[in-house]
Amino acid sequence: MTTSSTDDAIDLDGARIRYRSTGDGPTVVFVHGVYVGGGLWHDVVDRLDDFTCIVPTWPLGAHSDPAPDADVSAAAAAVRIPALLEALDLTDVTLVGNDTGGGLCLAALATGHTGLARIGRLVLTNCDSYEHFPPKGFDRIAAISRKVPPIGAAFIRFLASRPGRRYFMKSVCVHPPAGADADRIFEAFATSKAARADALRTTQSLVPSVTLDAVDALRAFDRPVLLAWGVDDELFPIAHAERLADDFRDARLVPIEDAATFVMVDQPDRLGLVIAEFARDNR
């Protein structure tokens, strides 16, 4: 189903964040990971027309407004999440994070920002956590990007190419999309040298302390948590979700079959259903 939508933008801490608002009802806000944009969530949002869905493209490498003078580190991104909730005056929000974005949601819990009070419940799909920020394999790319930036920049240029995007999608999807469906996910990462320059700076900031320093905060988080986890994921195996479920005070784990990191791409019907049920049950 296609719902009406509006596009807008907000400036936060020196970075312009463009976002799309769709639907009508309780508010759901989405957080994607590095190198992709809000288009990642398109198929799930299309199934949540009973909710107001706020879908930003965060400054993580696919944003259309370069931010060369802004802090685009993971730590700054974590602060921008509750800051956006506060700036848009959103309340009782269902916050949904994936991949790097899920790790940033965890890190946001430790910021102490007043906007955290606006979160009513948290949904994490396959994502970074604990010492897995970034996950095994990509951690070497982040380290190289810090030590030898030109090599990191070359890797990012490869990922932005059509063969690189295909490689990326195969690593995060059981059923990787192609053509326009894939292009929609990568947004400006595929077309903008300036966005990729920001992406390099973000990549350099990906270190395990971002999520490890949030462990006490996630253990203290007292609102409901849903872990909607694709089970066919080598980057973020379901054992990561089980560990999170043990640490959160009020967490429910829902395994999703035939899905990997981008569970919203592999199984949008199933993910949309479990998000909707969780948000309604915990109102």
CATH number, residue 144: 3.40.50.1820
Q: Give the DSSP letter of residue 137.
A: T
Residue ranges of alpha helices (H) inside the chain are: 42-45, 74-87, 100-109, 138-147, 149-160, 162-172, 179-186, 193-204, 209-212, 215-220, 238-247, 263-266, 268-281
Give the pLDDT of residue 1.
Answer: 46
* pLDDT the model gives residue 5: 85
pLDDT, one tens digit per residue, over 177-229 is 988 999 999 999 999 999 999 999 999 999 999 999 999 999 999 999 999 99
Number of domains in the chain: 1
Q: Please give the single-letter amino acid code of residue 278.
A: F
pLDDT of residue 272: 98
- The pLDDT, as a whole number, for residue 283 is 62
Instruction: Quote the DSSP letter at residue 56.
Output: E
Q: Taking every pair of C-alpha atoms in the chain, what is the biggest distance, in angstroms? A: 49
- 2: pLDDT strictly greater than 60: no
Of 168, 206, 172, 170, whose CA–CA distance to 190 is shortest? 168
pLDDT tens-place string over residues 103-152: 999 999 999 999 999 999 999 999 999 999 999 999 999 999 999 999 99
Question: Which among 280, 262, 279 has a CA at the least distance from the CA of 42?
Answer: 262
Q: Which residue segment(s) compose the domain that 135 sits in?
A: 5-281
Residues sharing a CB contact under 8 Å with residue 185, sequence separation 6 or more, in sequence order:
36, 37, 39, 40, 169, 177, 265
